[in-house]
């Protein structure tokens, strides 16, 4: 009765390479909910970078209107934050 050999290979698959938290000056670019301060998106020079679920990212132009997924508040972002 042959015993089934289970190949337990340590798969070095790093699929979340975009999860790197760079400590660059992104704090000022964050677009947060006006009510619960949840992060809605990150400002870029040419638009707003919205990230929802893991693989769902959107890059939209200004002005941006989005509802917070946490509290449902309608948030609006203009082109530049002076």
Binding site for Zn ion (CB under 5 A): 33, 35-36, 38, 68, 70-71, 73
**Residue 69 C-beta: closest distance to Zn ion, Å:** 8
The residue (of 42 and 46) whose beta carbon lies closer to Zn ion is 42
> Which token pair is 45?
């020079």
The residue (of 36 and 42) whose beta carbon lies closer to Zn ion is 36
H-run or E-run covering 41: strand 39-43
The residue (of 48 and 68) whose beta carbon lies closer to Zn ion is 68
> Contact 73/66 with Cβ under 8 angstroms?
no
């Amino acid at each position: 009765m042959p015993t089934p050999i289970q190949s337990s290979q340590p798969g070095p698959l790093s699929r979340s390479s975009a999860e790197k938290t760079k400590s660059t000056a992104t704090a000022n670019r964050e677009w947060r909910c006006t009510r619960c301060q949840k992060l809605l998106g990150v400002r870029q020079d040419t638009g707003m970078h919205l990230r929802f679920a893991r693989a769902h990212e959107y890059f939209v132009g200004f002005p941006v209107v989005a509802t917070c997924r946490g509290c449902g508040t309608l948030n609006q972002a203009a082109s530049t934050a002076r």
